């Protein structure tokens, strides 16, 4: 079922809750109903259609942070006159083909060709490297007052957190929740602002969207930019996708 569309009233309510959560006078952490409502509205926003990802953001526009960017890789274009790969010849020792219609064999061969073609296109369009890579810190990280109780109220296991390099003005952590799932948690000035978990065996992915008036990830990121954090075994990879209309502007 499609997620409910974001109405102007919900957008205004979400903006007010985010100002209470992430603004300079944040006071939402003492209001559990407001925190729950914030999570509900942000979950609905994440379910809305996203702009087409643009993984390459000019270096001068990236927020100031401690991660070291890796050089972007550009997919090589295939020559227009490059011949299609030959379809392999099947050498079978059993006469099953005598019982199989010719049209079925042709359809199967065409399907294999489409799958191979799609896989090749995906390898050209998907960036091979993230925009940034965040590594674990040797320091305890910035923990706010009543850290254990605040983190526990988010359903996390205090003491299981691992701090990573910051991104913009946001501290990035991996942490385990009460069910043992690995999570990514973003904090600012020692207070949690967003988290996402995944079952064991899957990479944890957290998508954060820059909203009007929000500068936690850096003032140079335009509204609507999506920052994706992916927790790997030893690092957190970061991809940045800015909206198409911003990419096209001078």
Q: Where are the domains of the chain?
A: 1-49, 57-70+128-248
What are the two backbone dihedrals, phi and then psi, of residue 23, each rounded to the nearest 5 degrees?
-75, 175
246/223 Cα distance (integer angstroms): 9
Q: Is 224 left (phi over 0), alpha (psi -120 to 50) or beta?
A: left
Q: Is 102 left (phi over 0), alpha (psi -120 to 50) or beta?
A: alpha
pTM for the structure as a whole: 0.50
| pLDDT tens string 183-233 | 999 998 888 989 999 988 899 999 999 988 877 777 678 889 999 999 998
What are the two backbone dihedrals, phi and then psi, of residue 246, each rounded to the nearest 5 degrees?
-75, -40
* Stretch 81-98: mean pLDDT: 53
> What mean pLDDT value characterizes the chain?
75
| pLDDT tens string 20-51 | 887 777 777 778 888 888 788 888 887 776 55
**Pairing state of beta strands 170-176 and 236-241?**
unpaired
| pLDDT tens string 140-188 | 888 877 888 999 999 999 989 999 999 988 999 999 999 899 999 999 8
């Amino acid at each position: 079922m499609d997620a409910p569309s974001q109405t102007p009233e919900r957008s205004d309510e979400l903006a007010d809750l985010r100002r209470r959560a992430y603004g300079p006078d944040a006071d939402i952490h003492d209001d559990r109903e407001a925190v729950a409502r914030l999570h509900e509205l942000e979950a609905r926003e994440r379910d809305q259609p996203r702009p087409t990802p643009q993984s390459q953001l000019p270096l001068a526009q990236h927020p100031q942070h401690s991660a070291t960017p890796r050089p972007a890789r550009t997919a090589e274009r295939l020559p227009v006159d490059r011949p299609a790969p030959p379809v392999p010849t099947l050498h079978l020792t059993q006469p099953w083909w005598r019982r199989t219609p010719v049209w079925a064999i042709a359809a199967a061969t065409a399907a294999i060709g489409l799958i191979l073609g799609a896989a090749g296109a995906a390898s050209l369009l998907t960036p091979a490297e993230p925009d940034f890579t965040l590594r674990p810190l040797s320091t305890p990280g910035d923990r706010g007052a009543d850290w254990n109780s605040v983190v526990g109220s988010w359903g996390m296991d205090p003491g299981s957190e691992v701090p990573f390099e910051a991104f913009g003005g946001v501290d990035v952590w991996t942490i385990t929740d009460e069910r043992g799932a690995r999570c990514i948690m973003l904090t600012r000035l020692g207070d949690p602002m967003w988290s996402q978990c995944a079952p064991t065996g899957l990479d944890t992915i957290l998508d954060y969207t820059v909203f009007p008036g929000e500068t936690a990830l850096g003032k140079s990121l335009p509204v609507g930019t999506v920052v994706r954090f992916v927790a790997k075994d030893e690092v957190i990879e970061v991809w940045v996708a800015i909206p198409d209309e911003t990419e096209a502007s001078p």
